[in-house]
Amino acid sequence: MTEWSVSEPTKLTLTDPVTRLQVRIVNGTVNVVGTDEGSARLEVSSVEGPPLIVTQEGSTLTVSYEDLHWKGFLKWFDRKGHRRRAVVSVAVPAGTDVEVGVIGAGAVISGVKGRTDVRGVTGDTTLVGLAGPVRAETISGCLEAQSVTGALRVNSVTGDVTVIEGAGASVKAETISGDMVIDLDAADLDGPPADIRLTSVSGEVAIRLPHPADARVEANTTSGSVSNAFDDLRVDGQWGAKSITGTLGAGRGTLRATTVSGSIALLRRPEAADDGGFDAAPSTSGKVL
């Protein structure tokens, strides 16, 4: 095992192979990018408080503090009261499995094809162009995923969840009071059918489906409003519980959305040649209750 104690700006080039990356920091920023290079590069451009401990054991590269571990990460408390802040950038081979934990810090992960696991307390997380399975947990930080093709699992308490140009076959997201905006791109006809499952207590849920859409739809809210831009779907309920159900296209995929008091909106994604941007309003044929 090789170990470095980093208490000032530092650049490291790892000559041994890296297939697993673990980064855990408090305050600051983590940037991870997958590359076509065979080696990994690490840059710590700023560090305050206790030094970061960088270790490489076998093909696993870890950047963290001595007292900050992955187990119980979301419940961690700095008993010593240190002021901590670090800015860490890591370039790894695209196939690397990545684990990132941030407390009060932002995280940006892009171009990774291996498994990605992110845990955050208050920092925002941005995921771009990830091809492997993704699991993300956040307490109050917002999460944005763009062009993620791997299976996406998100759990949030109060943080908002935004998926842009989602092309993965599986998206499962749960929030307590965080809002969800899910923009789905056209699925690959030769790939597995889409499986979209969204659950919230009081957060609002907006889903924009590709044109033409191909899914069995079941969306329910106990006391919120519903908006539907598809004539092929049925809206039931005038007072209290409301639902949107039906089949779009051949119904290969599945879309299920459930809220208690939040509203649900199903929007129609314009055709590629006439894409007016994400904020395009539902068609005038949409029903709102």
pLDDT digits (tens, 9 = 90+) for 51-76: 999 999 999 999 988 877 666 666 65
Whole-number Å distance between alpha carbons of 145 and 118 = 12
Structure tokens at 66: 């001595």
Q: What is the reported pLDDT for 284?
A: 32
Of 4, 5, 3, 40, nearest in space to 19 by CA: 40
Q: What is the reported pLDDT for 288?
A: 47
Of 255, 258, 268, nearest in space to 195 by CA: 255
Task: Report the percent of the chain where pLDDT is more than 70.
Answer: 87
Q: pLDDT tens-digit profile of 158-215?
A: 999 999 988 777 999 999 999 999 998 865 555 678 899 999 999 999 999 987 888 9
Q: For all residues of the chain together, what is the average pLDDT?
A: 87
Scan for tokens 């270790």, then name that residue: 55
Whole-number Å distance between alpha carbons of 86 and 123 = 13
| CB-CB contact of 225 with 244 (8 Å) | no
Long-range contacts of 271-280 (CB under 8 A, 24+ apart): 271/211, 278/164, 278/181, 278/183, 278/208
Scan for tokens 């969800």, then name that residue: 180
Q: pLDDT tens-digit profile of 111-161?
A: 999 999 999 888 899 999 999 999 999 989 999 999 999 999 999 999 999
Whole-number Å distance between alpha carbons of 107 and 92 = 15
Q: In the predicted model, what is the mean pLDDT of residues 75-104?
A: 84
Quick one: which H or E segment has residue 152?
strand 152-156
Q: What is the DSSP letter of 150?
A: S
Structure tokens at 84: 């901590």
Find residue 54's DSSP bridge partners: 4, 63
- 91 pLDDT exceeds 60? yes
Longest dimension (CA), the chain: 65
| Planar angle of CA 283, 288, 289, nearest 5 degrees | 170
Query: Residue 258: pLDDT band by 50, 70, 90 thresholds?
Result: very high
Q: What is the reported pLDDT for 202?
A: 95
Query: Residue 279: pLDDT band by 50, 70, 90 thresholds?
Result: very low
In three-state secondary structure terms, 74 is helix
Find residue 58's DSSP bridge partners: none
State how far the alpha carbon of 191 is from the alpha carbons of 42, 44, 115, 170, 217, in Å.
36, 40, 20, 11, 19
